[in-house]
Structure 1
Amino acid sequence: MDGTLLDPWERVSPRTARAVQRIVASGTPFVLVTGRPPRWMPRIVAELGLVGTGPDAAVPVGQDLQGAGRGGLAVCANGAIVYDAVGDVVLRSSDIDPLLLHDVAHELRAAIPGCSFAVERPARGARDRVDEQFLAEEAFRGVWSNADLRVVPTDELVGKPAAKMLVLHEQLTSGEMATAAAEVVSSRLQVTYSTSAGLLELSAPGVDKASGLASVAADLGVDRSDILAFGDMPNDIAMLDWAGHGVAVRNAHPEALEIADERTASNSDDGVAQVLERWW
């Protein structure tokens, strides 16, 4: 979504909104797939001009996927959460066990001195209290200022299941951190990143954007060969590889560009819309 569907100012362009609206009007499922948590989705869905959100807007269409017919489904937190923006409800969440959070945080702090941690905890919907969802250490807030987060002690941070763990370092790139983390974490957690600015995103084992999208596709009865996916960063690579046709925007990370079946224009030039307009 960021760096791909959204422009460099994190907005939906009018051209992109029109293209997505045509997809939904045709009856084709449209699913947002992002590293962001559900609380970011209502604004994006509204900018796309697709659906109202909240319980009053919910119209069941089967299998609890209320938003499927109106573009209201989102795979969030890099595949860990499936969210229905029409009913404002989290349908599924694949979380990291607290004991594993504790162990990995301890080991990463030793392997990457100077790093700090935050977690995104699962929510029932986008309108749950933010200070119960986004928790961080004091050192994390000192670098990554965000009005949403609440500072807590490390023991509290890792004391409950989390949809995603964030690891931050001021002086390393995300790629450098990922190399160090892979040696420590191994297969116990999924390690990826969506920015090069020293921030890792860790999910439960086997959880990534591909697995999240695959679960939604199975619910909707859509074969992977019929899926068109777009992305730009390493957290998109598994999805771009899994989908029937993976498209990377021109501003994408080199690894995403390499794995994609096609390259389109950058997110500042409506690259996603340019591809969608071939069929819708």
Structure 2
Amino acid sequence: MVARLPKLIATDLDGTLLGRDGTVSARTLRALRTVVEAGADVVVVTARPPRYVDALAAATGLGGTAICSNGALVYDLTSRTVIHSRPLAVSAARTVATVLSRAVPGIGFAVEAGLRVHYEPAYTMRHPGDREAEFAVPSVAHLWAVESPIVKLLAHSAEHEADFLLTVAERHAAGHAHFTHSGGRGLLEISAPGVTKADTLSALCATRGIGADDVVAFGDMPNDLAILKWAGSGYAMANAHPSVRAAVPRHTVSNEEDGVALVLEDLFNAPGA
């Protein structure tokens, strides 16, 4: 445990802060409010685009800052505006798609733009509740003509696990982009080189005069690993990816058991369930 109250809590959403049903429990929400009342910042750090965190903010009343799309966007929850963006260059996205198509036959691609997502016919993955934001294009080539900046390139294969796709991408396309995943079956998430949750959080903390030792972070998937290692106290959820549990010494119980709340209640001497 940290010796003093942390100045910032950084938390992933799916598999971490949220339950299986996609909601924040009353206990976890109470713990987050205790953190804010104590004067600390709460920053959501997620692979999700802004349209998802908008819905979360509306449902919970949480404000402040969110780091979205694996670090590509810094988003103000109160004003609902992007305050910093690090998009993937079209040339890099096209190169990565070409390389992965050769290495993984049948793989499909989509361009995540933050407020909407454009997908080509081979990209068959659909996200419940996202229909209004999904737009089909006739071919992969049409993805590169989308006017919005590429927040993330998504690659999906129904035939392979995400860990396999990550290994293939790093072997064949290293240097063109940053590759990670957040647990979706066969879903690879591709950002601009150097864009990670940890890099963006570190920069945000620097603007607030907050060092890593004053940060407590929570996560469950490979895209959270860098942030859990960077923070002064990083906690892997009990339901985390095996590589995350193995690499992070501090663990808490699962998201279904309010693992984030359990740690925050202890740190801030708050009442539990």
TM-score, normalising length from structure 2?
Answer: 0.88
Given candidates 162, 179, 203, the residue that maps to 1:215 is 203
Equivalence for 1:64: none
How far residue 42 of structure 1 moved from its aligned partner, in angstroms, is 1.9
Matches of 1:43 and 1:137, distance apart in 2: 26
Q: Which has the higher contact order (CA 8 A, sep 6+)?
A: 2
SS at match of 2:145: coil
1:137 maps to 2:120: yes
Equivalence for 1:72: 64
Letter paired with 2:126 = W
How far residue 95 of structure 1 moved from its aligned partner, in angstroms, is 0.6
Q: How does 1:175-214 map to 2 (within 5 A)?
A: 175-214=163-202
Q: How does 1:11-160 map to 2 (within 5 A)?
A: 11-50=23-62, 71-122=63-114, 130=115, 133-140=116-123, 142-144=124-126, 146-147=130-131, 148-152=133-137, 153-160=139-146
Q: RMSD between aligned alpha carbons?
A: 1.4
- 1:197-221 deviations in Å (ceiling 9; x for gaps): 1000011001111011112111211
- Percent identical among aligned pairs is 40
Equivalence for 1:63: none
Matches of 1:157 and 1:214, distance apart in 2: 31
Letter paired with 2:264 = L
Q: CA 1:78 to 1:258, structure 2 compared with 1: closer, same or farther past 3 Å?
A: same
8 Å Cα contact 1:175-1:196 kept in structure 2: no
How far residue 47 of structure 1 moved from its aligned partner, in angstroms, is 3.3
How far residue 139 of structure 1 moved from its aligned partner, in angstroms, is 2.2
SS at match of 1:207: coil
8 Å Cα contact 1:45-1:72 kept in structure 2: no
SS at match of 2:200: helix
1:261 maps to 2:249: yes
8 Å Cα contact 2:106-2:122 kept in structure 1: no
Letter paired with 1:158 = W
How far residue 135 of structure 1 moved from its aligned partner, in angstroms, is 0.6
1:236 maps to 2:224: yes
Q: CA 1:116 to 1:237, structure 2 compared with 1: closer, same or farther past 3 Å?
A: same
Matches of 1:188 and 1:103, distance apart in 2: 8
- 1:225-263 deviations in Å (ceiling 9; x for gaps): 111000000000111111111001100001111222310
Matches of 1:91 and 1:214, distance apart in 2: 16
- 1:40-68 deviations in Å (ceiling 9; x for gaps): 11222233333xxxxxxxxxxxxxxxxxx
- Post-superposition, which runs of at least 4 consecutive aligned residues in structure 1 deviate over 4 A? none
Count of residues in Structure 1 that have an aligned counterpart in Structure 2: 250
8 Å Cα contact 2:46-2:68 kept in structure 1: yes
Matches of 2:224 and 2:78, distance apart in 1: 25
Given candidates 149, 158, 164, the residue that maps to 1:170 is 158
Matches of 1:42 and 1:98, distance apart in 2: 27
8 Å Cα contact 2:72-2:196 kept in structure 1: yes
TM-score, normalising length from structure 1?
Answer: 0.86
Matches of 1:268 and 1:242, distance apart in 2: 25
SS at match of 1:186: coil
Gaps of 5+ in 2: 1-12, 269-273
8 Å Cα contact 1:21-1:49 kept in structure 2: no
